[in-house]
Amino acid sequence: RHGPICRKLFNKKRKPFNSLKQRLQGTDILTVRKTPQSKPQPVRKSNWRQQHEDFINAIRSAKQCTLAIKEGRPLPPPPPPAINPDYIQCPYCMRRFNETAATRHINFCKDQSSRRVFDPAQTAAKLASRAQGRAQVSPKKEPTVTSAVGALLQNRALDTPNGVPARSGKSECFLQLSSDGVTISFGIHP
C-alpha cells in the first residue's frame, strides 16, 4: 500500500533550502535577485587547421635538416615564419601582438620611438632578418682577462714548471707560456 506513495516522494525533486530568504522573511529588507550576465562571451574563432599545417611544415623542415646533417649536405633554408592574421602589427617596430598586448605595447613603443630616432635602413634590415626567421647576430667579442686575474694567473704559472700546477687531482686553471703567447687552460691534472 505504501509503494505508490513512496515512489511519488522519491520522484519529486526537492528545492534547495534558501536560508537567506528564510532569514529575510520577517524583516522589511527586499530580496535582491541577481541579474544574469548581459555581456555575452566572445566566441573565439578556431584556427586549428592553420596551426596543424604550421606544425606539419615544422616537422618536415626538421626532418630535412637532420637528413642534411647525416648526409653532410648544407642545411636547407629555414621555412618562412607563419604570420598569424589575428595579431596586430606595431607601426613603430613592426612586431606583431595579440589585441591586449598590442594596446599596451603600441603605447610603450610610441613613447620609446619619440625618445629614440630610428635609422630607416637599420629598421628595414632588422625586419628583413626577422622575416627570414634568423635572429640578428652581433659580432662576437674576444674574452679579455682583467689585469688582476691575469697577474694572479701569471704568478701561479711562474710558480709551476711548464704551467702544470703543483697540486694534483684538483681542478685548476693554469697558463702555458710559449713563444707565440699565453694560453689559459682549465682542467684536472693527476
68-122 confidence digits (pLDDT tens): 999 999 998 888 877 777 889 999 888 999 999 999 999 999 888 887 666 677 7
Cα 119 from Cα 112, distance rounded (Å): 14
Q: C-alpha grid cell for residue 121?
A: 635602413
Number of neighbouring beta carbons within 10 Å of residue 175: 19
Whether 76 contacts 64, CB under 8 Å: yes
φ, ψ of residue 63 to 5 degrees: the values are -65, -40
What DSSP character marks residue 119? P
pLDDT tens, residue by residue, 20-68: 888 777 776 665 666 666 677 777 777 788 889 989 999 999 999 999 9
CB 173 within 8 A of CB 184: yes
Residue showing cell 626538421: 62
Buried b (16+ CB within 10 A) or exposed e, 8-30: eeeeeeeeeeeeeeeeeeeeeee
Domain ranges across the chain? 50-79, 82-134, 147-188
Q: Is the pLDDT confidence value at 136 over 60?
A: no
Residue 23's pLDDT is 78
